[in-house]
Structure 1
Amino acid sequence: MSPMINADDLDRIFKNLDKKNEGAVGIAELHGLLGQIGVHTTPEELDKFVGRTTLDYFEFLFFYEAMVKASKPEHEHEQDLRRAFEVFDLNGDGYISSEELRSVLSRLGLLDEKRGGADDCKCMIGVYDDNSDGVLDFHEFKNMMSVSGFRK
């Protein structure tokens, strides 16, 4: 995938994949797209990586970003992750709270507060919060953003 793809392009790609207009794309559609762009994986590998049978729009955007970052050399990848982490760590304390995540995602227009945005942020933090302290440190953030199991 090209890092030159902008948000409008990603929106169109998602809508084209979401043929049933359900607000989600399945593993089969995602697998087909990846095959078309030269990322070879099995549906089983993709299912294991994604960890669910469908991705909503927000999850699709994170998936795309993770794929782009995975294609960079390790030192560039680490620097990009550090910069991204700093964007979310609004108070500079070395942790991303659900409130900070909600604030940044809201400002980016990626979170619908009327549809339980704050709860969604707590859930996202909870999935990757290895030590169950309610926040993400850089290592946990890095794990959240990492991609494995894909071959070009």
Structure 2
Amino acid sequence: MGQGSSKLHPDEIEELQAISSFTPAQIKTLYNRFKHVDKDNSGSLTVDEMTAIPELAMNPLCLRIVEVFDSDKRGEVNFKQFVSALSVFSKGARREQKLSFAFKVYDVNGDGVISSSDLFIVLKLMVGSNLDDTQVQALVDQTILEADTIDKDGAISFKEFKRALFGADLENILTIEI
């Protein structure tokens, strides 16, 4: 999509509008930013190129976010994947889309639930060396105890995740300006 080209074609913009909540002008802006980040001009962003984006690099969950962007697990993100994933962070994205993206960040092994090991990995990324493993595990255990309210299976399902984040202001927390 737009590979090797300095401009997107109108039909490409139309296709990207259909899978996102971006305007044509926003898609063009994203394309220019994508091309700037694509240092090797391959038409895809590698993990290294993605993690070099300053706004993403400062997030302790940077690598997890990149893994979620890489929907086909090929180790790179093409422009269509880039737009689709970033659409979750637009003002026009529905709350359910934002919740789904956040859930995928926490569901490290992709099995459809946030297990103790999933949550440990994500929390460890977030706290770094500020807490030792025992303290992180205590946070994990408490979080699962509080969130695992429906089926009490020792893991957090998407339904339980939504319930736990009921009052969270995701519309502002997970929104970026394009």
TM norm structure 2: 0.39
Point out the structure with the larger helix share.
1
The structure with higher relative contact order (CA 8 Å, sep 6+) is 1
Larger Rg: 2
TM-score (normalised: structure 1)? 0.45
